[in-house]
Structure 1
Amino acid sequence: MSMKILIIFYNSTMFDIRLKELRLEKGLTQKELAQVIQCDQSMIARWEKGECEPTESIIRKTARFFEVTADYLIGLEDESGTKI
């Protein structure tokens, strides 16, 4: 299933939670993460608050950086890789 189709099922609550958890586990500030994935710090804050949704490219960059799947990041699978 392509990422574009998966975005339809995007679970913003899980993305918000997982983004913040992963960022804090790495000991990064929002500004540091923003520099890594090439976006503005205010966007990280808005995503973590659930105020807006990331683009497909941001989801992919973020997943690669944290070494998780895009499905995990958007809440379609758990840590073990099991589809939810």
Structure 2
Amino acid sequence: MYFQRLRDLREDKDLRQEDVAEILGISQTVYSRYERGFQTIPVMHLLKLADFYQVSTDYILGRTNTSKPYPAK
């Protein structure tokens, strides 16, 4: 699965793949594989990205077009 939204979110913040990879504590190559869908994103990285971009995981995964995260209970 190709994650265009990961790329869009990153570019909207004027970040490089290297910048996001550093936040996740991984190499740029691994992060690039996430964006291109060549490697599965671990749940802990998906959650960290959702928190960083302040969007829902469903938005990143393309399951909804609503970017706002769900309210905390």
- The 1:39–1:77 alpha-carbon spacing in structure 2 relative to 1, beyond 3 Å, is same
Question: Aligned residues, how many?
Answer: 68
Q: Distance in 2 between matches of 1:53 and 1:79?
A: 22
Structure 1 stretches lacking a partner, 5+ long: 1-11
Please report the TM-score for the alignment, with normalisation by the length of structure 2: 0.83
Structure 1 match to 2:24: 37
Identity of aligned residues (%): 29
CA change 1:31–1:76 in 2 (3 A) is: same
Distance 2:48 2:67 in 1: 21
SS in 1 for 2:63: coil
Q: How has the CA–CA distance of structure 1 residues 42 and 18 changed in structure 2, closer, same or farther, with 3 Å as cutoff?
A: same
Contact 2:59 2:67 (C-alpha < 8 Å) held by counterparts: no
2:71 counterpart residue number: none
Amino acid at match of 1:68: V
1:77 to partner: Cα distance: 1.2
TM-score, reference length from structure 1: 0.73
Q: Report how far residue 80 of structure 1 moved.
A: 5.6
Displacement, 1:79? 2.5
